[in-house]
A and B are shown apart, each in its own frame.
Chain A
Amino acid sequence: AQKVTQAQTEISVVEKEDVTLDCVYETRDTTYYLFWYKQPPSGELVFLIRRNSFDEQNEISGRYSWNFQKSTSSFNFTITASQVVDSAVYFCALSEAAPGGYQKVTFGTGTKLQVIP
């Protein structure tokens, strides 16, 4: 069975600090996809990044970076020089193909990030 663990429930940082959100996953599949989503106060989850299980190359997009390590089953997300607009709940998710042809996505419980001005 799939499982995604985000041990950090809430994090508060002061603006311009760096912050890392942890994500640990469990799956028996060899082929899977990992995602990060951002949920601002408005409610909708916004896709940030996708990583497949065969690509461990780290990725950087502006102030965001992701560290995928299969050896530790982790997919951590770092925000550099945090800004108030980064305040949101961040979800890590794991996706596998389901027999019906759709994707079965398992979400973590989310990490609420508060960036203090």
Chain B
Amino acid sequence: ETGVTQTPRHLVMGMTNKKSLKCEQHLGHNAMYWYKQSAKKPLELMFVYNFKEQTENNSVPSRFSPECPNSSHLFLHLHTLQPEDSALYLCASSQERIYTGELFFGEGSRLTVL
């Protein structure tokens, strides 16, 4: 069982819908990340939260809105998405302030925008 859990695993939504992706980690980490994985592209870092504070926003469109209520939970709120936003969204966590350690990933949420 992975220490990082993502729900839902699959999501289909229309361009006018509002939905949210949820990530929960049980590893005691304080840094959490959202990555976007599209076909034939490198994983794209979207957001980073360190101790519940957003420390990076990689020029992500405002139709993606992250929320980190505590160090164990991370959300990605979605609204007015475009078909090109269809991708696998991966959540990850790591020990804070340590860049030598590995990232721990969830299994991802496969998003399809119609």
B99, A109: Cβ atoms closer than 8 Å: no
Contact of B102 among A35, A52, A109 (CB under 8 A): A35
Q: Is the CB of A50 within 8 A of B48?
A: no
Chain A residues within 8 Å of chain B by Cβ, number? 29
* B110 / chain A contacts, CB cutoff of 8 Å: 43
A109 and B98 CA atoms in complex are apart in Å by 24
A105-B103 contact given A100-B50, A100-B55, CB 8 Å threshold: yes
**A-side interface mostly:** strand
Kindly provide the distance from the CB of A104 to the nearest chain B CB, expressed in whole angstroms.
7
Is A57 located at the chain interface by the 8 A CB criterion?
no
Question: Which interface class (under 10, 10 to 19, 20 to 34, 35 or more) fits B?
Answer: 20 to 34
A58 CB to closest chain B CB (Å) equals 19
Q: Interface with A: B12-20, B39-47, B64-72, B73-81, which one?
A: B39-47
Q: Which residues of A contact B42 (CB under 8 A)?
A: 4, 106-110
Q: Are A103 and B101 closer than 8 Å at their CB atoms? A: yes
- In chain B, what residue has the closest Cβ to A4? B42
Interface, chain B (partner A; CB < 8 A): 2, 4, 9, 31, 33, 40-43, 45, 48, 50, 55-56, 88, 90, 92, 94, 96-108, 110
Given A102-B33, A107-B43, 8 further pairs, Cβ under 8 A: A43-B9, A43-B107, A91-B43, A101-B55, A102-B48, A102-B96, A109-B40, A110-B42
- The 8 closest A-B CB pairs, nearest first, are A103-B99, A100-B55, A47-B102, A43-B108, A43-B107, A107-B43, A97-B99, A101-B97
